Amino acid sequence: MKKLTKKSADLLSPRQQRNWDWRAAANFIAGGAGGSLLLWTAFAGFPIEIMRASVLLGLMLIGTGLTCVWFEIGRPWRALNVYKHVATSWMTREAMVAALLFPLGGLALLTAAPGLVIVTGVLGAVFLYTQARILAANKGIPTWRHPRSIQLMVATGLAEGAGFLICVVALSSSLIGTWGLVGVFALIAARAYFWKAYLGGLHADGAPEGALIVLNRFDSRFVIFGHILPGLAIVAALAGMPGQTAVLFAAGILMVASGWTMKFNLVLRAAFTQGLALLHLPVRGSGVAGAAAKPGWTMTGAKAG
The Cα–Cα gap between 154 and 133 comes to 10
Model confidence at 8, pLDDT cuts 50, 70, 90, reads very low
- Which amino acid is located at 254 in the chain? L
Q: Alpha-carbon distance 75 to 195, whole Å? A: 36
Report all structural domains of the chain as residue ranges with CATH numbers, in order of start: 17-272 (1.20.1630.10)
Q: How confident is the model at residue 158 (pLDDT cuts 50, 70, 90)?
A: very high
Region 87-106: mean pLDDT is: 91
Number of H-type helices and E-type strands within the chain:
11, 2
Asked if residue 293 has pLDDT above 90, the reply is: no
Residue 291 has pLDDT above 80, yes or no: no
**Is pLDDT above 90 for 81?**
no
- Could you tell me which of 296, 288, 305, 289 has the C-alpha nearest to residue 9? 296
**Is the pTM above the cut of 0.75?**
yes
- Report how far apart the first and last C-alpha atoms of the chain are (Å, whole number): 19
Looking at residue 228, its pLDDT comes to 98
User: Stretch 37-56: mean pLDDT, rounded?
Assistant: 94
* pLDDT greater than 90 at residue 196: yes
Is the pLDDT at 75 greater than 90? The verdict is no
Mean of pLDDT values over 272-297: 58
Residue 301: the pLDDT is 53
Phi, psi of 170 (to 5 degrees): -65, -40
Mean predicted confidence (pLDDT) in 47-74: 90
